[in-house]
Structure 1
Amino acid sequence: MDVNMTVNKGEMSDGKRSPVVYIQRTETFSACHRLHSSALDADENRRIFGKCNNPNGHGHNYRLEVTLRGPVDASTGMVMNLVDLKNHMEGAVLSVLDHKNIDKDVPYFKDTVSTAENIAIFIWDRLEELIPDGLLYEVKLHETDKNVAIYRGEKE
C-alpha cells in the first residue's frame, strides 16, 4: 500500500496528526550599549539604570537562542532546515548587532532603550519577517549568565 505522508497544516495526508517538534539554534554576538531613556532626567537614569547608565556605555557577549515550533514535514523530516535558520539569524540579527554600538549603529534603538527585553523584541521582529508563518516560537537572549530575556511574540 502506497501512502503519501506529506504534511498539510499539521495533518498528514493519511489523516493522522503530524508530530510537533521544537528546534533551536544558538548563536553568540558581542555588542555595547548604554541604558538611558530620553524620557528621564540624568538623576532618574542613574537611579534606575545604575552602572549600566555609564555615558561611555558597556559591553556584553550575548548568547541568542531561537526556537521554532512546528510539524515535522514527512518528506524532509524537518520543521525547517537549520541551515536556513542559521542564515536568517546571521543576515537579520548578527550582521546588524555583532560588534556594534546598539544605541548608535542600529536605528531601531534611536528612541528605544536598549534593554535585553527590547533587544529580544527587535530580534523577534526581524526574524518574524523571514521565518514561515507560525514557526517562530521563542527568542531567548542571554545578556549575562544570570540575566535573560525571553520573548514569544505575545502582546497585552
Structure 2
Amino acid sequence: MSQPVAFLTRKETFSACHRLHSPHLSDAENAEVFGKCNHINGHGHNYTVEVTVRGPIDIRTGMVMNITELKTALDRVVFKDLDHKNLDLDVDFFKKTPSTTENVCVYIWDNVRQHLKRPELLYEVKVYETDKNSVSYRGPYNHNGYYQGMQMKRSAKTSCTNISSDSD
C-alpha cells in the first residue's frame, strides 16, 4: 500500500503599498499599461497569502510537515520582509522588478523555500491582492513545459494565473 499524500496550507495576511511601474517601460508606456495603479504615490493592499506544501504523510508524526516550520518560514518572509512596507522602496527585489502580484508570488516562493528543511515539498503560493484578484505560482518550469522537480505538465490550471488589475 502506498503512503498517503496530503496538501498542507498556511494562510496569512499582510499590508503593503506599491506602485505598478516597470523600469523596462517608458513613463507613457507605464501609464498606458498600469493606468491608475501607476500613480506616482502608489496605493496599498491588504494581501492574503496561502502557502501549500505537498508530500507523503509521515507514518510516525502523522504530518506532511510540522505547521510550526511553515509558520516560521512565513513569519521570516512575509512579516519581516513585506508587511507594512513600500514594496518598491523597501524590498530590494522590487527595485528592478515590477511589484505585480505575480512577482510578489515569485518573491514569496523563492524566499520561503530558503527557510524550509525540505524545500521540495513547497507546492504552491497563492496571493490574493483583493477579494476578486489572485495569483497562483507553483515554481519555475523548464523549456519542456515541466515544473523543475515535478513530473507535472504546465497547463492553464497550473500556470501562474492572474485575474489581475487593481482596478476591480
Question: Could you tell me which amino acid in structure 1 is paired with residue 130 of structure 2?
Answer: T
Query: C-alpha deviations, 1:12-46, integer Å up to 9, x for none?
Result: xxxx3210000100000000000001221111111
Deviation at 1:103, TM superposition (A): 0.4
Is 1:135 aligned to 2:121, yes or no?
yes
Instruction: Report 1:1-150 matches (<5 A).
Output: 16-131=1-116, 132-150=118-136
| Aligned-residue identity in percent | 55
SS in 1 for 2:6: strand
Q: Deviations over 1:80-132 (max 9, x none)?
A: 01111111100122210000000000001110000000010000000111221
Q: CA RMSD in A?
A: 0.9
* TM-score calculated relative to the size of structure 2: 0.81
Larger radius of gyration: 1
| Structure 2: gaps (5+ residues) | 143-168
5+ residue gaps, structure 1, are: 1-15
Supply the distance in 1 between the matched residues of 2:77 and 2:26 (Cα, whole angstroms): 33
| Divergent runs of 4+, >4 A | none
Counterpart position of 1:153: 139
Moved more, 20-29 or 124-133: 124-133
- When the two structures are superposed, what TM-score results if normalisation uses the length of structure 1? 0.87
| Residue correspondences, number | 141
